[in-house]
Structure 1
Amino acid sequence: MRALSSRRDDMRFVVVGLLGFIAPFWWGCSGGEGSPQGASIAYNLGTEPATLDPAKSTGVPEAVVILNMIEGLVTMGPDNQAVPALARSWDVTSDGLTYTFHLREAQWSNGDPIVAADFATQWLRVLDPQTASDYAYQLYYIAGARDYHQGLTSDTAAIAIRAVDERTLRVGLASPTPYFAPMLAHTVFCPFHRASAGAGPRQWREQPSTYLCSGPFRLKQWLSHDRIVLEKNPRYWDAGAVRLDEITLLMIEKESSALAAFESGQLDVMDRPPLSAIERLKQEGRLRFTPLIGTYFVSFNCRVKPFDDVRVRRAFALAIDRANIARFITRAGEIPAMAFVPTGIKDAGGLREFRDAGGDYFTDANYGEARRLLSEAGYPQGQNLPRIEYLYNTKEGHQIIAQEFQQRWQKELGVHVELVNAEWKVYLARKQAGEYQIARGAWVGDYPDPMTFLETYATDSENNNSFWSNPAYDALLEAAKKELDPVRRMGMLHEAESLMMQEMPLAPVYFYTQPYLEKPEIEGIQRTALGYVYFKNARRAGNGG
């Protein structure tokens, strides 16, 4: 899924000011003493979403909002496998090339029927170059999609997406893709209410009156840099299973402020408490963990000097003490990463993990080799280097890790690095435009296969904001997509990852866990290892269910 932020920007109030501002609101909606009878919860989204357009969304916070309002053909189950949603069932031909989805009778939040053409319309919109979807490459598995998106044909009929009738959607693949059904849980595959486009280029995805929903909740209110409020969608096909009347998603970026709100009873759920509180919360038995298939890394812009030189990239990567970061800074069970694909994804046969089979590709904190490479590149002890900046998005945890990088690179390489803090939308825009040298990076898988990580660095991937390109790497990925033998296929993916780690367009730092806080009375929130958070079955014990 996606770029993981823990994102976003500083709410710019001190804790006292924050609590004074939100206390009257939350005492009125969190189900506490004196609250109304309708069941509601308060969740910290942690940032202002960059967009609520499913075709344009790239981050976890955006996905949390979108996927609780717009349900697709499938949702992601606890085992990271596809669960029927708007598709009540599907058939796959014996050659694995054709999927036929059978839609259930369902309505948009305005009462219009949800039909197969709503999916076909959205998927073609994603592939339209004018949409500029960063996730268009996810649809390249569909026959004809790549050629259309890359301008080799303008004929949409060449794309194997067919609304056979109102309740039947047929999709033809370019090659068998065993993880195609789980892929469909991603926002980019959500349906699109076709008439909404008439509301204007932006209005439909910002206003409750025009943001039509197919999922368990609908948009009630969006106050920029403050909160998004979702309310139960009475026209949802499975509305009887939805226990909550309302969810309020706050945008408190400062982890310490969010923790203060949680501990004062004004937040019910928050992810990623401040690093300074991790040990205390663990000792108190309040900190919970779920697995997260994701990697925290440093991104290098391979188009700008000095990071167009692989020796410089490797020098900076080897001069990071990952074990120190995991043990003394993050302290939430993160695993130091000496490869890109994280733990949690199976290798061929499913008996061992891809990461265990591939092993590590370099030695952590290898300062001697780092200094040798930097000197060989013409920058001994950092001499002759241009000014270097490290870009990160506003979060206390990101700042602490950035300061660790800064101190380590100064001590071990003799390189002074300036730290540049940007709010989430600016940070994303700068990375996508290539307006950076080094930056914080993170990726959470979209489906349970190594390809969800490796494909982001293909030359034609819109998410490749390191701007690294290697024809041999691209060829391995394309060959793996067509390979039917699972052992040979995984071998190609291991070879591709090895090639990536030799050229180091990114420096892996650690593999994620997902620490979070949740009030004891909150039940039924589904969290998956791929970062999906579903509120459909959430409830407040003793209220609303």
Structure 2
Amino acid sequence: MGCNGRLLLILVLVISLLAVGCQGGAVEGTGEKILKQNSASGEPSSLDPAKAFDEDSMDVVGSLFEGLMRLNAQHQPEPAVAEKVDVSPDGRTYTFHLREAHWSNGEKLTAHDFEYAWKRVLNPQTASEAAFLLYFIENAEAYNTGKATADQVGVKATDDRTLVVKLKQPTPFFKQLTCYPVYSPVYKKGLEKNPNLYNEASGYVSNGPFKMKTWKHDQKIEVVKNEHYRLADQVKLDGISWTMVTEQKTAYQMYQSGQLDMLSRKSVPSDILAGLIKKGEAKVKAGSGLEFFRFNVTKPPFNNAKIRKAFALAVDRTAIVKQVVQGNEMPAGAFVSPGTLTQKGDFRKAASQFVPLTAQPAQAKQLLQEGMKEEGWKTLPPVTLLYSNNEKNKAVAEALQAMFKQNLGVDVQLQSQETKVFLSNQKAKNYQLSRSSFLPDYNDPYNYLESFQTDHSMNRTGWSNPQYDALVKKAFAEPDETKRLEYLHQAEKILFDEMPIFPLYYYNQVHVQKDYVKNIIRHPVGPSDYRFTVLDK
């Protein structure tokens, strides 16, 4: 080849490389539509559908998996992997007929994967915190507590496309429950070979709109569009990435510089949030759930109910919301949040209410003195408040510390821990006073109040009250809605009479996102839906 020929060949190669670079592809910055967001708590606690039970974990898992049903834009359950569902006249048997569906590796997904997944959640060895969400199924609780076998659980794949579910009693919100991540299928074939399948990116198999690409622990998670998803042609994003930045100021700087497309409330510095809301840069929507604090009633000084009430009544919730959190939240005066629906309407308006919690320093001091006298204490045992490490939690903890000092004369020590360590200690009751949060799994007051039954996995306080347990159990089995609500209101009153917890404020949804991010479906209950999200740059 002559000199001119070689020059021509080199020119053609250069032009080709430039063309590839302009067209985009797998390289960042080449035109791919990747939604960049942040996991504000850092490393998710788990990306196993059986164990993903915190907000950040479920956000990722919700994009990777899809259950029998899925919430639509109106937050109502509609068929997903199930094509249709038949309900027996007595409301106790649900027959789900599955459409043809596939795993992200191209293999067929069957009803047997669902049966395996649900029984895996209930298997005591799995130690799933969310197992109680399946207790509506016949013999589910008995199997989870070692009193029945897996074969006795009311879930059976009668063939590859049919799943029959038998419930303890009619459960009107059961379809809604099947939208929740813990009800997702799992890849039975893969898990039988590798029980740790969902602990790493390698080999991770899912069935949702996205599939796993990269998981660098404590750094980043990347998912990409799943070409085997049933509505793959409607998924416009090429992928989603989650960084793991726990420092709010750093996360906000990344958002400002374009490294992140959106931030949740937990990633926005509290000292600028009110200004962002006022300017319209931060959007506020109705939410559900609440921030609250747990007392460990098995450890002094919170083994005494009067002392627990003293600490609860020493807190000025309005001041914390307005001066510390600053996200237009509502101070909490009860446990079940407003907007929690029943067949009779909003639970908070459906029956007479007890007096909500407000700051009452004089009464708090009196209760503290009475409680100490009952215990024979001249000085209060040392108190430590435990919280998971982020700037908002720290600011709230410091505000509470100041209120306990001012209104009770008590010096409270603060202790922060990385999220996983914090949660582990809270579950093991290695604390005295602990920051907590509750996000409902389905929109019904029972979901809130079931958590404080004796030995419930979500109780974590050591508190037990037979009358409370009886009322919650009666509510669970009561077909008459008026009576059911009466039992639940009575149970909530007992919870506040004995005060193993105290509420702080009800959650709303606050997001900061770029104008070009469109069509995220944010549900009041459950993870967001990114199936139809577009980046309209």
TM over 0.5, shorter chain: yes
Mark the CA change 1:37 to 1:30 in structure 2 (over 3 Å): closer, same or farther. Answer: closer
Q: Residue 441 of structure 2 corresponds to which residue in structure 1?
A: 446
- What secondary structure sits across from 1:229 in the alignment? strand
Work out which of the residue numbers 494, 498, 515 in structure 1 matches 2:493.
498
Mark the CA change 1:347 to 1:366 in structure 2 (over 3 Å): closer, same or farther. Answer: farther
Contact 1:270–1:516 (CA<8 Å) still a contact in 2?
Answer: yes
Q: Residue 260 of structure 1 corresponds to which residue in structure 2?
A: 253
Please give the alpha-carbon distance, in whole angstroms, between the structure 1 residues aligned to 2:180 and 2:147: 26
What is the deviation of 1:531?
4.2
Task: State the number of aligned residues.
Answer: 509
Residues 278-310 of structure 1: CA deviation (Å, up to 9, x unaligned): 122123221111211111111111121111111
In percent, how many aligned pairs have the same letter? 35
Contact 2:334–2:357 (CA<8 Å) still a contact in 1?
Answer: no
Please give the alpha-carbon distance, in whole angstroms, between the structure 1 residues aligned to 2:355 and 2:75: 27
Please give the alpha-carbon distance, in whole angstroms, between the structure 2 residues aligned to 1:532 and 1:377: 42
Please give the alpha-carbon distance, in whole angstroms, between the structure 1 residues aligned to 2:343 and 2:194: 47
Mark the CA change 1:332 to 1:357 in structure 2 (over 3 Å): closer, same or farther. Answer: farther
Q: Residue 373 of structure 1 corresponds to which residue in structure 2?
A: 367
Please give the alpha-carbon distance, in whole angstroms, between the structure 2 residues aligned to 1:136 and 1:206: 19
TM-score, normalised on structure 2? Answer: 0.91
Q: Residue 86 of structure 2 corresponds to which residue in structure 1?
A: 91
Where in structure 2 are there 5+ consecutive unaligned residues? 1-21
1:236 partnered with 2:225: no
Work out which of the residue numbers 389, 393, 397 in structure 2 matches 1:394.
389
Letter matched to residue 134 of structure 1 = E
Please give the alpha-carbon distance, in whole angstroms, between the structure 1 residues aligned to 2:243 and 2:354: 39
Letter matched to residue 284 of structure 2 = F
Q: Residue 524 of structure 2 corresponds to which residue in structure 1?
A: 529
Please give the alpha-carbon distance, in whole angstroms, between the structure 2 residues aligned to 1:56 and 1:298: 23
Q: Residue 430 of structure 1 corresponds to which residue in structure 2?
A: 425
Residues 132-158 of structure 1: CA deviation (Å, up to 9, x unaligned): 1111111111111111111122x3222
1:482 partnered with 2:477: yes
- What secondary structure sits across from 1:526 in the alignment? coil
Contact 1:80–1:448 (CA<8 Å) still a contact in 2?
Answer: no
Mark the CA change 1:258 to 1:104 in structure 2 (over 3 Å): closer, same or farther. Answer: same
Q: Residue 14 of structure 2 corresponds to which residue in structure 1?
A: none
Structure possessing the higher radius of gyration over alpha carbons: 2
Q: Residue 23 of structure 1 corresponds to which residue in structure 2?
A: none
Residues 211-236 of structure 1: CA deviation (Å, up to 9, x unaligned): 10100001100111111001111111
Mark the CA change 1:405 to 1:383 in structure 2 (over 3 Å): closer, same or farther. Answer: farther
Contact 2:24–2:31 (CA<8 Å) still a contact in 1?
Answer: no
Letter matched to residue 189 of structure 2 = A
Work out which of the residue numbers 282, 287, 291 in structure 1 matches 2:282.
287
Letter matched to residue 450 of structure 2 = E
Contact 2:177–2:441 (CA<8 Å) still a contact in 1?
Answer: yes
1:167 partnered with 2:167: no
Please give the alpha-carbon distance, in whole angstroms, between the structure 2 residues aligned to 1:503 and 1:81: 36
Contact 2:388–2:419 (CA<8 Å) still a contact in 1?
Answer: yes
Contact 2:86–2:95 (CA<8 Å) still a contact in 1?
Answer: yes
Letter matched to residue 365 of structure 1 = A
Mark the CA change 1:78 to 1:445 in structure 2 (over 3 Å): closer, same or farther. Answer: farther
Letter matched to residue 112 of structure 1 = E
Q: Residue 45 of structure 1 corresponds to which residue in structure 2?
A: 39
Mark the CA change 1:400 to 1:213 in structure 2 (over 3 Å): closer, same or farther. Answer: same
Letter matched to residue 486 of structure 1 = E
1:204-215 counterparts in 2 under 5 A? 204-215=197-208
- What secondary structure sits across from 1:325 in the alignment? helix
- What secondary structure sits across from 1:317 in the alignment? helix
Please give the alpha-carbon distance, in whole angstroms, between the structure 2 residues aligned to 1:228 and 1:305: 42
What is the deviation of 1:358?
4.8
RMSD: 1.9
Contact 1:392–1:420 (CA<8 Å) still a contact in 2?
Answer: yes
- What secondary structure sits across from 2:29 in the alignment? coil
Please give the alpha-carbon distance, in whole angstroms, between the structure 2 residues aligned to 1:229 and 1:249: 6
Contact 1:92–1:100 (CA<8 Å) still a contact in 2?
Answer: yes
Please give the alpha-carbon distance, in whole angstroms, between the structure 2 residues aligned to 1:532 and 1:230: 16
Letter matched to residue 252 of structure 1 = V
1:281-360 counterparts in 2 under 5 A? 281-350=276-345, 352-354=346-348, 357-360=351-354
Letter matched to residue 167 of structure 1 = R
Please give the alpha-carbon distance, in whole angstroms, between the structure 2 residues aligned to 1:356 and 1:511: 18
Residues 213-262 of structure 1: CA deviation (Å, up to 9, x unaligned): 10000110011111100111111111111101111111111111111111
1:32-71 counterparts in 2 under 5 A? 35-46=29-40, 47-71=42-66
Work out which of the residue numbers 215, 227, 233 in structure 2 matches 1:222.
215
- What secondary structure sits across from 2:108 in the alignment? coil
Contact 1:109–1:236 (CA<8 Å) still a contact in 2?
Answer: yes
Please give the alpha-carbon distance, in whole angstroms, between the structure 2 residues aligned to 1:515 and 1:358: 31
Where in structure 1 are there 5+ consecutive unaligned residues? 1-27
Contact 1:342–1:355 (CA<8 Å) still a contact in 2?
Answer: no
Mark the CA change 1:356 to 1:147 in structure 2 (over 3 Å): closer, same or farther. Answer: closer
What is the deviation of 1:353?
4.2
Higher relative contact order (CA 8 A, sep 6+): 1
